[in-house]
Structure 1
Amino acid sequence: MQAAAKHMTPVSLVLGGKNPCYVDKSCDLSVAAHRIAWARFINAGQNSLAPEYVLCHLDIRDSLIHELEMSIHEFYGKNPQDSQHYGRMASLDQYRRVKNFLSCGQVVLGGQTVERERYIAPTVLIDVKESDPIMKQEILGPVLPILTVESLEEAIQFINKRDRPLAVYVYSNSPQVISEVMHNTSSGSFCSNDSMVQSLYTRLPCGGIGNSGVGQYGGKFSFDAFSHSRACLLRNTAIECVTYLRYPPYAEKQLRLMQWATSISRTSNWCRIL
């Protein structure tokens, strides 16, 4: 933005953020786990649109963890380190940064690491505190914290206490729950009952809001982001007997005549907008 400001050039920035994922009691946990696990662990979690943490009720947490474990085994086998479909961290610095997150809360799935391969297993954490580093930084790695809430309202409050994310996700079979989350949170994008796939639809814009970015891209939105919409109004010099009313000195009579002229101009062809 600093470089572009010298030339008054528009920019589009995607800055990422902490994307929340609310899992409701009414959802199909098996389907939800498959889609969450795919989004969080593909490319070893190095995706800015991936779910950053899960919010769910305590009474479904263990079932969700079990379903996540089944999904991980289905995708990558019992040992993801041996899977040709599971990635590695892009750099040693990134590996060490994400590895440090494993000390937050309690590891209930995964947690294995191999520095020489920059390998971090698909990992699920519980008992994470809001003050832990993993809840303050974007993860960009294969680690998924699960936090519990007592109600939908508490989940929405939890989300809204933080910077506006790049995406908000909700898994629920209740249209009312989906509507509540969508209308009472703010984010660059929103997706129900899936994760990350909103970026595949070229007729939808992709971008952040607030700390998660500025501007939009994707399909025609990319073209529009760097195009200037030029306002063009073609007028003529007719009806000066009416338009003179805008000139001073002003009087009450001019105001009434101007209001009358405005009402007529809505149905006339005095000018064209291109």
Structure 2
Amino acid sequence: MAAGVETVAEELRAAYGGGKTRDLEWRVSQLKALLKIINLHENEIVEALRSDLNKPEYEAFVHEIAGASSACKLALKELRRWTMPEKVKTTMTTYPSSAHIVSEPLGVVLVISTWNYPFILSIEPIIGAISAGNAVVLKPSEVSPATSAVLSKLLGEYMDTSAVRVVEGSVPETTVLLEQKWDKIFYTGNSKVGRIVLAAAAKHLTPVVLELGGKSPVVVDSNIDLKVAARRIISGKWGCNNGQTCVSPDYVITTKEYASKLVDAFACEMENFYGKDPLQSNDLSSVVNSRHFDRLINLLDDEKVSGKIVLGGQRDKTKLKIAPSIILNPSEDSLIMNEEIFGPLLPIITVDKIEDCIGIITSKEKPLAAYLFSNNEKLKNDFISNVSSGGMVINDTTLHLAEASLPFGGVGESGMGSYHGKFSFDAFSHKKAVLKRGFNGDVSVRYPPYTNGKLNFVKAMLSGNILRIIRALFGW
């Protein structure tokens, strides 16, 4: 086990207690250091992502490097405004008074990252934690060892290690970290480990953000531009880490009469994107490791699925690659319809009427994302009103992650809490209520002895009836 893991929270608490992380200039300096890492070490980061996931340089840059850079620049631009006390209105109850909401750091926080986007899913929570004035420990995923090593090296070189620390390792190190007292834990990963994190946090009443996953549905109506819809679904599924994405489309719902057209559109656009033999494409990421490869093949070769593969199905374990695969109407009790896929497999299930999609989605656990392709305004409104999900996109997939003005997070089984943009700052802040009063305006009505006249005055004040207040005041 790495030296110092058992005491890392205590060590950073000493630095936090000295007040340095609360200083605005310190926060700015650390954010600038993060931006410097991103700008100066792009090639090193890209190579690490290629080593871990065979991630195309385009995806590495657009989804991870550019995203982290944008988040850092936004925090630097808005930090002073985010930290300013927020003035709020007061009522007659406390008159005369003024009130503010003050954002203060929580203290020493733990970020446990994951392997599918190992750079940005480490850096963006750190940006939020530092912006809010916390000391932070990052535990990168051991499943993406090259990126974990790069993060440890670069943050160790550029950041203030008395308040920003990286702990590498696997389950033993994570277990020791979770035994310590933190002021917040931010975990990205699956719901099984999420429950372990939540149970550990409960021992210290530590607040937790859980960014989990789930089976994100895509509903495809027939009154759409099919080519555009197919391209956007392919982009969100296979163009985002080859399906290894928490908001990746997990299954499609369409009508029985439209399914064949949709499959044909997928086949056409897939060939345009990845060629006749997608296993040879340099634009598809590999499956992260042999364990996940075997898990996905088990889903694909399930007897309730194997005869229903209408596109793809090829695999190459030496390259850890599985071709984009579409399964039409797998059995509802098949593994692929009951486990989060997290890979390049996409089931399509059919219904008689597209409106039936809402009942199917709401019968399952709440997903991290839900997508609808339709030009039917009533269906759009019904979908938004009745489908509970962490986020939602109409007529596209995954793009809500690109908007810093929108919170990103789950609901129910797909997680709790949110981040991105100012929501990242808020995730690591305590919103402290501050009420200020002078010594004027002190009234006897709040003090004993309590009389009927005082009670009548209080009731009149609460009613908001001016005439009643006057009567109570003068005893009319």
Q: Does TM-score exceed 0.5, indicating one fold? A: yes
1:21 aligns with 2:241: no
Instruction: Summarize the Cα distance change of 1:250–1:134 in structure 2 as closer, same or farther, 3 Å threshold.
Output: farther
Q: Which residue, 229, 245, 264 being the options, matches 1:66?
A: 264
Structure 1's unaligned 5+ residue stretches are: 266-274
Give the counterpart letter for 1:33 in structure 2.
A
Superposed, 1:112-191 pairs within 5 Å as 112-191=314-393
Give the AA of the match of 2:259.
R
| Residues 1:255 and 2:452 are matched in the alignment | no
CA distance in 1, matches of 2:381, 2:445: 49
- Give the TM-score, by structure 2 length: 0.53
Name segments (4+ residues, structure 1) moved above 4 Å: 247-251
**Does 18-27 or 232-241 show the bigger shift?**
232-241
Distance 1:256 1:172, change over 3 A: same
2:412 alignment partner in structure 1? 210
**Preserved contact between residue 242 and residue 261 of structure 1 (Cα < 8 Å):** no
TM score, norm. by length of structure 1: 0.90
CA distance in structure 1 between the partners assigned to 2:444 and 2:260 by the alignment: 75
Deviation per CA, 1:150-173: give whole Å up to 9, x if none.
223321000000000001100011
Correspondence 1:46 to 2:244: yes
Q: Distance in 1 between matches of 2:449 and 2:233?
A: 65
- Cα distance, 1:29 vs. partner? 1.2
1:96 equivalent to 2:294? Answer: yes
User: By percentage of residues, which structure has more helix?
Assistant: 2
Greater relative CO (CA pairs within 8 A, separation 6+): 1
* Residue of structure 2 in register with 1:268 after alignment: none
Which range moves more in the overlay, 232-241 or 201-210?
A: 232-241
What CA deviation, in whole Å up to 9, does each residue of 1:65-90 have, x standing for no partner?
00001111111111111111112100
Q: Give how far 1:203 is off.
A: 0.6
CA distance in 1, matches of 2:465, 2:433: 23
TM-aligned CA deviation for residue 3 of structure 1: 3.9
Corresponding residue pairs, total: 263
Q: Distance in 2 between matches of 1:127 and 1:149?
A: 10
- Unmatched 5+ stretches in structure 2: 1-197, 467-476
Q: After superposition, what is the alpha-carbon deviation per residue over 1:167-214, rounded to whole angstroms, capped at 9, x for unaligned?
A: 110001122211111111100001000001110111101000000001
Check conservation: 1:169, 1:191, Cα contact below 8 A.
Answer: yes
Structure 2 distance, partners of 1:242, 1:26, is 69
What's the CA shift string for 1:30-82, capped at 9, x where partnerless? Answer: 11111111111122210110110000001110000000011111111111111
Native 8 Å contact 1:109 1:124 kept in 2: yes
Are the counterparts in 1 of residues 279 and 316 from structure 2 also a CA contact under 8 Å?
no
Q: Which residue of 1 aligns with 2:9?
A: none
Asked if 2 retains the 8 angstrom alpha-carbon contact of 1:159 and 1:185, the reply is yes
Q: CA RMSD in A?
A: 1.9
% identical aligned pairs: 37
Q: Deviation digits for residues 110-145 of structure 1, max 9, x if unmatched?
A: 000111111110000012122111111110110000
State the match for 1:31 in structure 2: 228
